[in-house]
Amino acid sequence: MSDKILFTAESDKSIEDVIKNLKKNAPEYGFQVRHILNLGEEYRANGAEVDEGFQIYQVIICSFKRSYQAVKANNERAIVLLLPKQMVVYNKNGKTVVNYLPFPEDFIAQALPDDGDFPERLAKTCRKITRMIEASV
């Protein structure tokens, strides 16, 4: 097993097609795309001088019913539920790249040490998101 934590998938598809596939595939994996943030536009809107052609998108997904039930059971879960549900999509060396940081079970267990099987379930969800990304590139 690799020591690399960051999951990376590459595609010959355009950024737009990869994001469209993420939106299409999300329900098959139990998620919805909650928000797509064009970081270049955000930087410009907040005063940054952004290079022409700069394209990086933050894609945030959620399983609203499961997320609500998890947070309702323990409000502290919100911090580890929100963060692992986002990825970035950008171009690099002629390829579209998707980066995602899945939380491993031991990290979740350290953050919420007294939370039963939640770390195992969230780590499983992170692996599902990885599969969704693989199906979308």
pTM assigned to the model = 0.88
Alpha helices in the chain (DSSP H): 15-25, 39-45, 64-73, 77-82, 105-111, 118-136
Kindly report the CATH number that applies to the domain delimited by 7-136.
3.30.310.70
Q: Per residue in 4-24, pLDDT tens?
A: 789 999 999 999 999 999 999
- Helix, strand, or coil here: 55? coil
110 closest CA partner among 80, 78, 87: 80
Q: Per residue in 84-114, pLDDT tens?
A: 689 999 999 999 999 999 988 898 889 888 8
Rounded CA-CA distance 29/58 in Å is 19
